[in-house]
Amino acid sequence: MPQKPPYTITEKAADYLAKIVETVTRLEFGTDFKRDIKLHRKNRVRTIYSSLAIEGNTLTLDEVTAVIEGKVVAGKQAEIKEVKNAYEAYDQIMAFNPYAIKDFLKAHKLMTQGLVTESGRFRSGDVGVFSGDVAVHIGARPQFVPQLMEDLFAWAKTSELHPVLKSAILHYEIETIHPFEDGNGRIGRLWQTLLLAKWNAIFAWVPMESVVYKNRSGYYRAIEEARKVNDSGVFIEFTLGAIYEVIAEQTKHQVKHEVKHKVELTDTQLAVLNALQNNVLSRKEIFAIIEVAGDSRAFKRHIEPLLTQGFIEMTVPDKPNSRMQKYKLTAKGKKTKSR
């Protein structure tokens, strides 16, 4: 039986967990968040910007957005590389097994390739976190790191603890073991997001890191206080508070967005819905059926609002511009009757 890491689930943490479960359910089933592809992309950029900024990357949110969009940005090449690497790592997040060491190392390689010597490998030397010349934390001795990580993942895989709580504990333990030469903070936050997303896929698009960045002093303080007492309880409280804050923010924003942008469907939009009854069609096929010239302006006018409002959805949502892209009705779209 794998040894359990030291942690305490406080009343405050338990309260946060209950609120998280309730709010996630509301976000998933009471809003169009799952289908809001534009918001997903925006949140992914916020995630990457925030996680890198916590570690000192100086690129602005607009610059990070530009890098991800493939534009030329005047900045430090290492910082630009960090953005590209982080985008690649988060883009593959749902393919990782959160309890597989090989995936953990692969994620680190994606996150740090071209930036650190031991990318994708556990460190071979000692490492510490310093405040000036003072050592704030010294990671585990390198010869013990592989076994410590194996033990941690073995515990997490068999533990019946709620995934939200488990994600916080793994995040903390990764920071404590400090398994890599560099990139421990980035990989710890990525791995917490991974565990959350395996519990509920909407977390792949929830920018928890943005709240951590906003309160990074509290983040570091929670880690330090947990280390002093050798119990991750205070860190669990902090990170669950961050999760609750960001999903509550997403839910509130989504409801406001839907009220603001609720519009009466046009005859052409209703024709699109009729064309998709029992059909899965490409953009070209839709416009051919409704007999409208299918240029980009027509797409924005007639199809994009149906996506935003959740009447239709993409068959390849992660790649909106894919040549294989087709569209189909959602449950909401199927309920809509033509005039």
Catalytic positions are: 178
Task: Give the start-end residues of each E strand in 281-337.
Answer: 312-314, 327-329
Q: Quickly count: other Cβ atoms within 10 Å of residue 322's Cβ.
A: 12
d(CA 252, CA 45): 20
Q: Determine the 3-state secondary structure of 170 from DSSP.
A: helix
Whole-angstrom CA distances from 138 to 151, 228, 231, 236 are 20, 13, 17, 21
> What are the residues facing 130 on neighbouring strands?
135
d(CA 285, CA 319): 19
Q: Quickly count: other Cβ atoms within 10 Å of residue 209's Cβ.
A: 27
Q: Which two three-digit tokens encode residue 185? A: 């903070």
3-state DSSP of 219-277: HHHHHHHHHHHCCCHHHHHHHHHHHHHHHHHHHHHHHHHHHHCCCCCCHHHHHHHHHCC
Secondary structure tally for the chain: helices H, strands E: 16, 4
Residue 94 CA, distance from chain mean position: 10
> Left, alpha or beta for 230 (phi > 0: left; psi -120 to 50: alpha)?
left
